[in-house]
A and B are shown apart, each in its own frame.
Chain A
Amino acid sequence: MNINAISILGIVMIVISACVPKYEGPYESSIGDTNPERFLMIGGTFSSGYTDDALFRFGQENSIGAFIHQSMNSVVSSPFHQPLINEGSVGLSTNGLSRLILGYKTDCLNETSLSPVRETALGDASILNNIYNDSHFNNMSIPNLRSGEFFNTDYSNQNPFFSRMASSQSSSVMDDLNSLDATFFSVFLGLDDFMPYIKSGAKNDSLPDIIAFESNYRLILENLTSNGAKGVISTIPDITSAPYFTTVGWDDLVLDSANNATLNNIYNPLEFYFVEGNNPFMIEDPSANAFGVRPIEEEELILLSVPLDSVKCYKMGTIFPFRNEFILTQNELQNIRAHLNSINDIIRSLAIEFELGLVESETFFDKIQSEFPYNGINLSTTFVSGGAYGLDGIRFNPRTNALFANEFIKSINQKYAASFPMINATNLDAAFFP
């Protein structure tokens, strides 16, 4: 019996030690052929941390560059100084407003619903005070920065988001980039070259000049690589898949019998016919007919900049067709996309020319558009509830910034035989609901 008891106690010991699976790791990370000592992120609005239509600290701390750095930093420790805004600041939009938060809004029909609203009436202009203070910034992503403005020594007078971080009033963005002497860089540049045109419904500004874009981008890369630094660059995504361009549907005009009759009375002479139920909105199009109006077509886009109260209560989009600034027509979209393709081809060939890693950003944007599950989170382009974009409907939220950063990390790992870990985006923030 004694032997029995001892043997059983022996089993108990084995049981206790055998019960917990051992982790075979740790993960073997490696910097490969990279030198992550001084990492530099370069870009425009999208990677500056600007989201919820403002630059504010939370967005900066969860910016694309911050996540790429977080991964690299976990392997080799390095600094990542950002031109951070104070905690608690409501931030500042490019129009001088505060950031958007989710709140309640009462519309012209007296219906109150959850909606992005400005946190305060005015933005925090104090963030524009210069904070350079002899510290080189590792995130040189600047709201509205275009490829043609890197060598502009007057740029700090033209873009207050640069002047707040510029080393001097007369320094160019490139001057300040160079002073960091980066050993590794990541570039997400060019979206701002398109953005003013796209966001104004192809009314303001114009598409970037392809030849100038190429020479500017090449010059930037020559500067960045002159010290032997390596890096990764990204193509420009087709931003028209973002909720800002897709939330108001082309046929979201729902007519009851009275309104149906009214619109048919007005438009039947032009041979436009309406039915009860869903109909296409009416838009202005000078080339359509003598009256310059027509129904919007299925592939065409209505921007979230449309005054929704005017649509709901004051016949906008019906008796008063949507103006050019609120829509992207088939022709405009074709132009934008063809142009985007040309410029992305340039970026691809530059990646080869400079032997850099390349991120095909459109692949990632397409994934969101086709709704993909990430660890039980279904990400989509649906406004707010899709969980991918910020409250401005154009920029990503922290969760998606991290997933996008993972695309950069994958490209770095592949190009430079490195193995930097991916960021876990599961617990990162999306929208906060009241």
Chain B
Amino acid sequence: MRKIFSFSTLLLALLTCEITYTQGYQVNFQGQKQQGMGLAGTAIFLDGSSLFFNPGSVAFSNENSINIAVTPISGNTLYVDAETEQVYRSNSPIGTPFSAYGLFQLKDHAKLKLGIAAYTPFGSTVSYEDNWIGRFALTKLQLKAIFIQPTFSYRIADVIGIGGGFIISTGNVVLEKDIPVQFSDGEFASASLSGSALGFGFNLGIHYDLTKKLSAGLTYRSKIEMSVEDGDASFDVPESLDPNFPDNTFSGALPLPQVLTLGLAYKASEHLTFVLDVNRVGWIAYDTLAFDYAVNTSSLEDTKSPRMYESTFAFRTGASYDFEKGLSLRLGGGFGFSPVQNGYITPETPDNDRWYGTAGIGYVFGDHFSMDATFYYTQMSRTGNNIETGLNGQFDTKAVAGGIGIIYKW
């Protein structure tokens, strides 16, 4: 139990840091075992989290299980304005990506597995200190998306499993920024856009045991267009400008990109397993962030902000060593390319290519319970500008995450 205590200490420590950290706005914390191994694990059945990582490998499971995990992530961005050299910091709250999986097998159909998954693959809250130099570009962006994925998986041959899940995505977005017009006391006006979004997609996977030791997995998660209709646009502006900024509704859409993953897993021995995943993320879908207001005025026109994301690769690898007495230690890391091009750097995703490292530990308590915990760290620096807003400077970001998950199986 002391170990659990230690990990809760770790989680408390994380609460002292700030900001959610993401790649683009993608969050890759969907399974503690995979997180321990550099966020890879598409080609191996590990636990219920494979419902996310590869519905095809779920066919190789031999259990009923319930799996719940949370990975508080905390980061901090420092911005140095290129012209004035003034320094500003983010003050984002801690993010709490979670996942929950239920995995079930049917007595009469040994080859068929059913599962239900809920996870948060995209989302972040980024906010910056008051009066920061980019206040008219962004003061806060909160993006939350929960994916619910009922899934089936079928073992079509001894060495091949296929699976698929339908995804219902619900979420909400809040965007706040200041407007460069002033009240009579000098205070600046502000805008707040918020709305709930709904989207649909699917997650397909195939798992193939190439040899007794080597297996491969291929998955495709479709793009999901998160559409906001009748979002709430409210403006805190001087009274004389109320007609220019009428409280209003807006519509918009944020694409959650498709992800194609090829994974390999190699069981070097009874104890030692290596995994490798290569992601191709279709960020090219995010070329514009558009807001369409129901009521337009000369001061409030529909906006189309270029984002011009590029599709990217990410490489993730790791290993797990399973000791005799139910203890596992994991280690991994990876490299992800940034979808954000020069000229389009925004305070909401001050993103760059980055290395990251992960570590994990797992322990099995008897026949039913097991626990896993993980650690994640990355840092990056991005220098450049945004053509639309004129913001020009350097973003330095560090992020850490500590995850903990519990599994009950029968």
Residues of A within 8 A of B (CB): 1-2, 4-5, 8-9, 11-12, 15-16, 18-23, 25, 27, 102, 104, 114, 372-377, 385, 387, 406, 421-424, 426-427, 429-434
A43 to B80, CA, bound (A): 34
Complex-state Cα separation, A421 to B133, whole angstroms: 15
Given contacts A1-B2, A18-B377, A430-B180, contact A373 B389 (CB under 8 A): yes
Q: Does any Cβ of A come within 8 Å of B210's Cβ?
A: no
The verdict on A4 contacting B84 (CB below 8 Å), with A19-B398, A20-B76, A21-B76 known, is no
B131, CB-defined interface residue at 8 Å: yes
How far is A205 from B81 in the complex, measured between Cα atoms in Å?
Answer: 46
- Complex: how many Å from CA A432 to CA B397? 36
Closest partner residue, chain A, to B244 (CB atom): A385
Closest to A4 in B: B3
Does B294 interact with chain A (Cβ within 8 Å)?
no
Q: Is the CB of A23 within 8 A of B3?
A: no
Does more than half of chain B's interface fall in helix, strand or loop, or is it mixed? mixed
Closest chain A residue to B14, Cβ basis: A15
A430-B181 in contact given A375-B134, A376-B135 (Cβ < 8 Å):
yes
Across the interface, do B135 and A5 meet the contact criterion of CB distance under 8 Å?
A: no
CB-CB under 8 A from A424, the residues of chain B are 81, 84, 86, 133
Closest residue to B136 on the A side, CB-wise? Answer: A376
Find chain A residues with CB under 8 A from B80 CB.
Answer: 23, 25
Within residues 1 to 39 of chain B, which ones have a CB less than 8 A from any CB in chain A? 2-3, 5-7, 9-10, 13-14, 16-18
Nearest opposing residue in chain A for B75, CB measure = A19
Whether B177 and A376, one on each chain, are in contact in the complex, defined by CB atoms closer than 8 angstroms, is yes
Find out whether the CB atom of A19 lies under 8 angstroms from the CB atom of B400.
yes
**B133 and A426 form a contact (CB under 8 A):** yes
Q: Tell me if A5 and B388 are in contact (CB < 8 A).
A: no
Q: Contacts of A373 on B, CB cut-off 8 Å?
A: 388-390
**Cα(A19)–Cα(B398), bound, Å:** 6
Provide the residues of chain A in CB contact with B299, threshold 8 Å.
385
* CB-defined contacts of A4 to chain B, threshold 8 Å: 2-3, 6
User: Chain B: which residue is nearest A372 at the CB level?
Assistant: B390
Chain B positions within 8 Å of A2 at CB level: 2
In the complex, A35→B185 CA distance in Å? 38
Shortest distance between the CB of B243 and any CB in chain A (Å): 9
What's the nearest-Cβ distance from chain A to residue B232, in Å? 22
The stretch among B193-201, B234-242, B274-282 that forms the contact with chain A is B234-242
Find chain B residues with CB under 8 A from A25 CB: 80, 85, 87
Proximity bits, B67-91, A CB within 8 Å = 1, else 0: 0000000111110110111110000
Structural contact, A375 and B184, CB atoms closer than 8 A: no
Which residue numbers of B lie inside 8 Å of A, CB to CB? 2-3, 5-7, 9-10, 13-14, 16-18, 74-78, 80-81, 83-87, 131, 133-138, 177, 180-186, 188, 237-241, 299, 375, 377, 379, 388-391, 396-398, 400, 402
User: Quick one: given A424-B86, A433-B238, are A9 and B6 in contact (CB under 8 Å)?
Assistant: yes
Measured CB to CB, the closest approach of chain B to A47, in angstroms, equals: 21
4 A-B pairs with least C-beta separation: A376-B136, A373-B390, A433-B238, A19-B17
In the bound complex, residues from chain A placing their C-beta under 8 Å from that of B77 are 21
Known: A2-B2, A426-B133. A375 touches B13 (CB 8 A): no
Residues of B close to A11: CB separation below 8 A: 10, 375
- Contact yes or no, A19 B16, CB < 8 A: yes
CA distance A1 to B7 in the complex (A): 13
Known contacts A19-B74, A375-B389, A424-B133; A432/B183 CB under 8 A: yes
The answer on a CB contact under 8 Å between B390 and A376 is yes
On chain B, the residues within 8 Å of A432 by CB distance are: 182-186
Once the chains are docked, how many angstroms separate the CA of A375 from the CA of B135? 8
Q: Please, which residues of chain B bring their CB within 8 A of the CB of A374? A: 390
Report the nearest B residue to A433, measured CB to CB: B238
State the CA gap A9–B379 with chains docked (Å): 21
Task: Given A21-B396, A21-B398, A433-B183, verify A27-B85 contact (CB < 8 Å).
Answer: yes
Asked if residues B397 and A12 are in contact (CB atoms below 8 Å), the reply is no
The CA of A423 and the CA of B86, in the complex, are separated in Å by 9
Known A21-B398, A102-B240; judge A433-B181 contact (CB<8 A): yes
Q: A residues within 8 A CB of B131?
A: 427
Closest to A20 in B: B76
Q: Are B85 and A434 in contact (CB under 8 A)?
A: no
Instruction: Give Cα A385–Cα B377 distance, bound, in whole angstroms.
Output: 46
Which residues of chain A are within 8 angstroms of B375 by Cβ–Cβ distance?
11, 15
**Nearest B-chain residue to A18, judged by Cβ:** B398
Say whether A15 contacts B184, CB under 8 Å.
no
Task: Say which residue of B183, B388, B400 sits within 8 Å of A15 (CB atoms).
Answer: B400
Q: When chains A and B are docked, how far (Å) is the Cα of A250 from the Cα of B36? A: 69
- 6 examples of A-B residue contacts, CB within 8 angstroms: A8-B10, A21-B398, A23-B78, A422-B83, A427-B131, A432-B184
Q: Which residues of B contact A15 (CB under 8 A)?
A: 10, 13-14, 17, 375, 377, 400, 402
Closest CB-CB distance, B88 to chain A, in whole Å?
A: 10
**Residues of chain B contacted by A23 (CB below 8 angstroms):** 78, 80, 87
Q: Would B379 and A21 count as touching, CB distance under 8 A?
A: yes
Kindly report which residue of chain B lies nearest to residue A113, judged by CB atoms. B240
Task: Report A223 CB to chain B, min CB distance, Å.
Answer: 34
In Å, the complex CA distance between A12 and B7 comes to: 9
- Nearest A residue (CB) for B243: A114
Task: Check if B3 sits within 8 Å of A375, measured CB to CB.
Answer: no
Q: Given A20-B78, A375-B136, 16 other A-B contacts at CB below 8 A?
A: A11-B10, A12-B13, A15-B375, A15-B377, A15-B400, A22-B78, A373-B388, A373-B389, A375-B81, A375-B390, A376-B138, A387-B180, A406-B83, A427-B131, A432-B184, A434-B184
**A21 near B13 (CB under 8 angstroms)?**
no
Partner of A421, one of B5, B84, B135, B390: B84
A16 CB contacts on chain B under 8 angstroms? 13, 16-17
